[in-house]
Amino acid sequence: MSNRRARPPDTLGRLFLDITGVLPDDASLLRMRRVSGALNLRDNDALWSMIAVLEYYTRLYEAMPDRIRRAGEGNFDAVRREAEVATDALMHQHRDALARCKATIQLAEEMIREHEVRYQAALAQLNEASIAVLADRMANRVARIACNRFVGAAAVAARDQRERMDSAVDIFERAIGGATKRVEASAERMERRFARTLRRLWTVAAILLVILVGAAAIVGEHLI
């Protein structure tokens, strides 16, 4: 590198000290020189300040894991104690919540049993009411059917009885008509017989009268 002049360590260290406030170590100086050689920087180049700042942050980030580890080791016991306290508190809350859940479950079971009893009672009442309503409906239906059948049977019986009565009346009328005819015929025969008898009586009476008159005449002649 012909155009590059190496900065004296004191000058580079003083620049790093002025910028960061801490002295550089050998590794930091070596990295800064390697970067300046790669970039071919001059002594008065403004990038030296940027390189010093970047090196400071590099050292800071390199030391950060160790600091974090030391801080973690120092706070691990406290964190563990806090974790134990938090765990105990959570376990206590969990036990309380579990106890409340058990109580809630028991209460729910009791409510479920009560609801089951009430439901069974309501269902029994509903069944009784339904059975009563169904029985009433069936009774009404049976009554209607029986009434309809009774009315039908009564109508059929009345029709049969009417037919029988009509037949009996017809037979009675025919019998009365026949009897009337027979009575009329008998009356006519009796009238004819009575008329013949009267005629016979009148004939006999006339004959007797003639005989009496003749006998009286004969007796009168003998007396004279």
Q: Is residue 213 part of a domain?
A: no
- C-alpha 144: how far from chain center: 33
Q: Residues 20-55: pLDDT tens digits?
A: 777 878 887 788 778 777 877 776 666 777 777 877
Q: CB within 8 A of 15, min separation 6: which ones?
A: 7, 48, 49, 52
Q: Is residue 155 part of a domain?
A: no
Q: Is residue 212 part of a domain?
A: no
Q: Is residue 158 part of a domain?
A: no
Q: Is residue 192 part of a domain?
A: no
Q: What pTM did the predictor assign?
A: 0.28
Q: Residues 92-130: pLDDT tens digits?
A: 776 776 787 777 788 778 888 887 888 788 777 776 777
Residue 66 domain boundaries:
9-96
Q: Residues 178-221: pLDDT tens digits?
A: 778 887 888 788 888 878 888 888 888 888 888 888 888 787 77
For the chain, the domain total comes to 1
Q: Is residue 63 part of a domain?
A: yes
DSSP 8: P
Q: Is residue 219 part of a domain?
A: no
Between CA 121 and CA 86 the distance in angstroms is 51
Q: Is residue 127 part of a domain?
A: no
Q: Residues 65-95: pLDDT tens digits?
A: 776 777 666 566 666 676 677 677 767 776 7
Which string of b and e fits 25-53 if b means at least 16 CB within 10 Å?
eeebbebbbebbeeeebeeeeeebeebbe
